[in-house]
Structure 1
């Protein structure tokens, strides 16, 4: 049956801006980059350290994604981090605006939300060390 999440696809407005954000700001590694002439679309495959991937697409005239108020469907993309304070400091130094760090009332873990260049909600979720 299911083994895990293989990838998450994100459609962006400004490909160059989003590519820089996901590669330079978030530190994802480029696996492949292709321009698909028939769709007038870039497809950028990015690697997460755990083997998962983010696919970044550009499509001409893609409609805006409703975020506020929150719409039905996929809500946000969450990335696991070991040290939320260090991750927040790195993002803040790169000009990313973060919401205040909160604590999950059920797990006790800390998390923080921010947005990608198109306003897609992203989350950092601090995962407790095993042991």
Structure 2
């Protein structure tokens, strides 16, 4: 819902239509820990909760669906610019899959901008996690 709301705000401000929504770029499914705080996890499952199978989606699956979406978008919208609104975990994991030599780890800030280019079937990241557009709001 947060990504849809963000996409709608961008659409309204830039007068760009939203062409659709795709479940492949939704946030990671956190299984049983979804919506819980660290304190609640510790209380319910103990300090080793990260080692338990709590139904959390595997990182490899998240990065695959993100990269599959982008690969399809690169074909569908060849030679066009596409604005995609998604979530930090999916963006970071997808970057690590598409450009593993450049992104061994990622940290994506809320409302940051990352630019990917696909030229001749080669991915490149020309802007990563940029929050410069927020500077006027941060005092």
- Give the TM-score taking structure 1 as reference length: 0.28
Higher relative helix content: 2
